[in-house]
Amino acid sequence: ATRTPWQRRGIALLAGASATLGHAPFQLTPVYIAALVVLVWLLDAVSTSKSRFGSAFTQGWWFALGHFATGLYWIASAFLVDADTWGIGAGVGAVIALAGSLALFWGLGCMAAIAFWTSDLRRAAVFAVSLFIVEWLRGNILTGFPWLLPGYVWTPGEPVSQLASIVGIYGVSLLTLVIAGAVATVADGQANAGRRFAPMIGAASVLGLVFGWGA
């Protein structure tokens, strides 16, 4: 909360970029969860400001810009087929333009979430549902572009990914967002230890059950 607006945007950008490590070929799921936790805390920081809707949109947009720009870097390679004509600049520009456009969904999701934001554990559900909705829209509007969905951070073929056979990739994505929101409540300094850690323990228990079933 003590950071300047541009410092928060920089933090969001770096967190979003690091979230890409949760996807293939790295599959560092804990890094992805940690990045989302940072986003929740950034929303906490702006939730009481006078311009909270605009600030929430900005945090979500910058986070997603970093995420999609690093996760969609491969699009630039198409411009290198005829590098003499297009050059590297066109490829980089295309990646940033696409990432910025897709980031609008996350910006709107965070803006919607801030309308129902609370200072307690309920915001974990608000965060998860809001981003779940915009991710579903991103994957379906105009045939959609469901690249880098949250549910993809669980290695295909391994136990947790088996849940997709019942709830699909969007169901797994919702579970992932809920877990991140639950972990974020650990920093709720005004709550007692039980209220701070109970959501994370509950999410870990559900994840353990899913893992056991999938195995």
**Which tokens belong to 175?**
């579970």
pTM value surpassing 0.85? yes
Give me the DSSP letters along 29-90: HHHHHHHHHHHHHHHHHHTTSTTHHHHHHHHHHHHHHHHHHHHTGGGGGGGGTTHHHHHHHH
Tens digits of residue pLDDT in 114-160: 999 998 889 999 999 999 999 999 999 988 999 999 999 999 999 99
Tens digits of residue pLDDT in 167-183: 999 999 999 999 999 99
Tens digits of residue pLDDT in 158-169: 999 999 999 999
CA atoms within 13 A on the CB side of 28: 10
206 or 87, which is more confident: 206
Q: What is the mean pLDDT of the chain?
A: 93
Tens digits of residue pLDDT in 23-65: 999 999 999 999 999 999 999 999 999 999 999 999 999 999 9
Whole-angstrom CA distances from 110 to 13, 62, 74, 204 are 15, 11, 27, 24
